[in-house]
Amino acid sequence: MNNFKGGTAVITGAASGFGLEVSRIAAGLGMNVVMADVQQEALTKAAAEISALGVQVLPYRLDISKAAEVEALGAATFAKFGAPNFVFNNAGVGGGGLIWESSLKDWDWVLGVNLMGVVHGVRVFTPMMLEAAKKDPSWRGHITNTASMAGLVAAPNMGVYTVSKHAVVALSETLYQDLSLVTDQVHASVLCPYFVPTGIADSARNRPAELSDNAPMTKSQLIGRAMASKAVTSGKVTATTIAESVFEAIRNETFYIYSHPQALAGVQVRLDDVLHGRNPSDPFVARPEKGEELRKALREA
């Protein structure tokens, strides 16, 4: 897919981070931009910015975890622009702590946004893209799902998030294979960023009241949040660079999109463990002082 001008992009999590940067590039390429986000104020501001670039914008406030709301987004998109050429299932939230300390509401919230949000996007938009492809042999489409490097390794003390992102990688790989069975006109990719400065470390601000826990955060959850915030805010690769890599992958039909190729060493270790039937390797082997620091903090009374 190389011709973007006049096409339509649907972007979730569009008011900030990767979503906003992808919206800017899509607009620069002459695409109509459907911007979906749960944050109304931020969405209004972002939509105004993208509209000022001279393209048509459809801002849409929704909770991506709600099937009916994503279905309504699909209907609104189709009514205004027809089938989208690019769908970026990107909205996501963080979550950490020892895996048994995640409450049912933690699981419902993180899986609802990170996994079911992608499921809903794929379920709603893929059929209309395939239908458009059937009607026009020259029509092209692409779906990119945001996962994480946490979807390729199993880092400790961030279980609920890791589970959600592993599921997104598996979903995306299956989507890629399934699309190849039925069409040559619609493709898929998965974005697996490492630590990039975005607002995900502060995603709890958008947690719905009905999925909030009254209990205080556990020690492991507080440690996990602090570690994630430090890692994300200190990242040197920008969201702009990531957005550019998304469009490069679309042009080249590249499936795996990485922000930090050097982090793949950890993925190789995990795959070797699986292939050779080894117990999971110590994730802190390269920085043992960090592992010792975490173990000490968690074991202190």
Task: Point out the catalytic residue in the list 161, 176, 194, 258.
Answer: 161
Bigger pLDDT: 274 vs 213: 274
Residues 89-101, mean pLDDT to the nearest whole number: 93
Which tokens hold the place of 153? 């390794």
- Find, among 185, 88, 169, the residue nearest to 132 by Cα: 185
pLDDT at residue number 153: 94
Confidence class for position 197, pLDDT limits 50, 70, 90 = low
* pLDDT bracket for residue 155 (50, 70, 90): confident
Q: What average pLDDT does range 171-199 have in this prediction?
A: 92
Whether residue 161 lies in the annotated active site: yes
pLDDT one-digit tens code per residue, 5-60: 999 999 999 999 999 999 999 999 999 999 999 999 999 999 999 999 999 999 99
In a domain, 92, yes or no: yes
Q: Give the tens place of pLDDT for each residue, 226-272.
A: 877 776 766 678 889 999 999 999 999 999 999 888 889 999 999 99
Q: Are 124 and 76 in contact (CB under 8 A)?
A: no
According to DSSP, the residues that pair with 86 across neighbouring strands are: 9, 142
State which residues form the domain around 38: 8-299
Instruction: Give the whole-angstrom CA distance, residue 262 versus residue 259.
Output: 9
- CATH code of residue 82: 3.40.50.720
Is 3 a member of any domain? no
| Contact predicate 109/208, CB 8 Å | yes
Structurally, the chain folds into a number of domains equal to 1
Mark residue 226 as left, alpha or beta (left: phi above 0; alpha: psi -120 to 50; beta: remaining). alpha
Q: What integer pLDDT is reported at residue 225 of this predicted model?
A: 83
Domain assignment present for residue 19? The answer is: yes
Residue 234 pLDDT: 67
pTM of the entire structure?
0.93
Q: How confident is the model at residue 202 (pLDDT cuts 50, 70, 90)?
A: low
CB atoms within 10 A of CB 16: 18
- Asked whether residue 1 is domain-assigned, the answer is no
Q: Is residue 2 part of a domain?
A: no
Cα–Cα distance, 273 to 130 (Å, whole number): 39
Q: Which residue from 66, 63, 60, 62 is spatially nearest to 8, judged by alpha carbons?
A: 60
